[in-house]
């Protein structure tokens, strides 16, 4: 782990942070433009300027869904479901049923409303729960997805262990996570721009060198560990900055500080319960 003084996220506070953001109608409108996806975008060709953020966020969810390997009748747990864009996408792409959980009460309401609007309310259900202690039986899901959510949780290992517990044998876990990557030196302080962002966003960065070992420790078999930084981060910061500029509203953190900071990495992980 890098030397860092970033406090561990407190689930209740993360929930309040999202509640507060989403109660602001203007902020909600922004996420509507991004197809109700609350995460980074994925550009197959990061230099292709013709692909807007709204398409790139859906593309990342599609990449996750492909790896879940589910079909009609299967049951997927969406861990940290946001406002429900990804859950509705799973139902529509695969015919699977989805249970979405989030620590934010506001998100649960919005996700249920979205599923109803899209006509998938029978197959996509949402409830408030803390991923650190899931209110589900052992072996109750065919797959678990955690799209950009584990980074908000105080113990990755605990969440992975919970995901393994609720997965059926042979079931898949697919997630994205942020990590500090080379040229970051593990004995050095975290880059100040990353540290500032982590504090405001209530996240921590993963230790990539320990990721495979951590998955093994909780009893999961690694299927894929892929650095997707080049396809995601820089374009996401730039797309977000464009929106911020249009809004002309005060922001808690200046994303310009993160442009060109190569130590801010994003990881795509797929694992399986043996
Ligand atoms: C960046 S958003 C991603 C949302 C969604 N996966 C998406 O891609 O649109 C992070 C999500 O993690 C959820 N989250 C953070 N900590 C949590 C916890 N301890 N338990 C459950 N959900 C949590 C947040 O409420 C939010 O829904």
Residue 23 belongs to some domain of the structure: yes
Our count of domains for the chain comes to 1
Say if 178 falls within a structural domain. Answer: yes
Q: Which residues contact 52 (CB under 8 A, 6 or more apart)?
A: 239
Reported as a single tens digit per residue, the pLDDT across 232-252 is: 999 999 998 888 777 766 677
Among the listed residues 22, 25, 200, the one whose alpha carbon sits nearest the alpha carbon of residue 103? 22
Is pLDDT above 80 for 5?
Answer: no
Nearest C-alpha neighbor of 182 from the set 227, 238, 233: 227
Mean residue pLDDT of the chain comes to 93
What is the pLDDT at residue 186? Answer: 62
Q: Tokens in use for 71?
A: 């079909």
CATH number at residue 15: 3.40.50.150
Residue 42 lies in a domain: yes
Report the pLDDT value the prediction gives residue 113, as an integer from 0 to 100. Answer: 94
Catalytic residue from among 12, 27, 148, 230: 148
Is residue 48 domain-resident? Answer: yes
pLDDT at 177: 98
- Give SS3 for 31: helix
- Judge whether 126 and 105 are in contact, CB under 8 Å: no
Give the distance (Å) from ligand 1 centre to CA of residue 212.
22
| Residue 24: per-residue pLDDT | 73
What does the DSSP assignment read for 158-192?
Answer: HHHHHHHHHEEEEEEEEEEEEEE-TT--TTSBPPH
Task: Give the global pTM.
Answer: 0.95
In this structure, the residue with its CA closest to atom 7 of ligand 1 is: 38
Predicted confidence at residue 1, as pLDDT, reads 46
Rounded to the nearest angstrom, the distance between the alpha carbon of 81 and the centre of ligand 1 is 6
Is 32 tagged catalytic?
no
Please write the tens of the pLDDT for every residue from 85-139.
999 999 999 999 999 999 999 999 999 999 999 999 999 999 999 999 999 999 9
Q: Is 4 a domain residue?
A: no
Q: How many whole angstroms separate alpha carbon 261 and alpha carbon 259?
A: 6
Q: How far is the CA of 259 from the centre of ligand 1 (A)?
A: 24
Judge whether 209 lies within some domain.
yes
Domain containing 234: what range?
11-272
């Amino acid at each position: 782990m890098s030397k860092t003084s970033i406090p561990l996220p407190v689930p209740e506070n993360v929930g309040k942070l999202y509640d507060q953001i989403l109660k602001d109608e203007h902020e909600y409108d922004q996420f509507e433009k991004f197809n109700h996806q609350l995460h980074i975008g994925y550009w197959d060709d990061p230099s292709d300027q013709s692909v807007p953020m709204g398409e790139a966020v859906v593309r990342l969810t599609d990449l996750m869904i492909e790896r879940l390997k589910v079909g009609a009748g299967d049951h997927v747990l969406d861990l940290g479901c946001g406002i429900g864009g990804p859950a509705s996408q799973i139902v529509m792409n695969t015919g699977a049923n989805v249970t979405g959980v989030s620590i934010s009460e506001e998100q649960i309401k919005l996700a249920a409303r979205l599923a109803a609007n899209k006509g998938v309310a029978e197959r996509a259900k949402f409830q408030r729960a803390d991923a650190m202690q899931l209110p589900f039986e052992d072996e109750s899901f065919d797959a678990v997805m955690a799209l950009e959510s584990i980074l908000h949780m105080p113990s990755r290992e605990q969440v992975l262990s919970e995901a393994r517990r609720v997965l059926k044998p042979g079931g898949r876990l697919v997630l994205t996570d942020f990590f500090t990557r080379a040229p970051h030196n593990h004995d050095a302080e975290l880059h100040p721009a990353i540290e500032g962002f982590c504090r405001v966003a209530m996240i921590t960065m993963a230790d990539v060198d320990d990721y495979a070992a951590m998955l093994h420790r909780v009893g999961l078999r690694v299927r894929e560990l892929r650095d997707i930084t080049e396809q995601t981060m820089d374009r996401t910061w730039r797309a977000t900055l464009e929106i911020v500029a249009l809004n002309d509203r005060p922001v808690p953190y200046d994303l310009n500080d993160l442009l060109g900071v190569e130590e801010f990495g994003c990881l795509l992980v797929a694992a399986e319960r043996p």
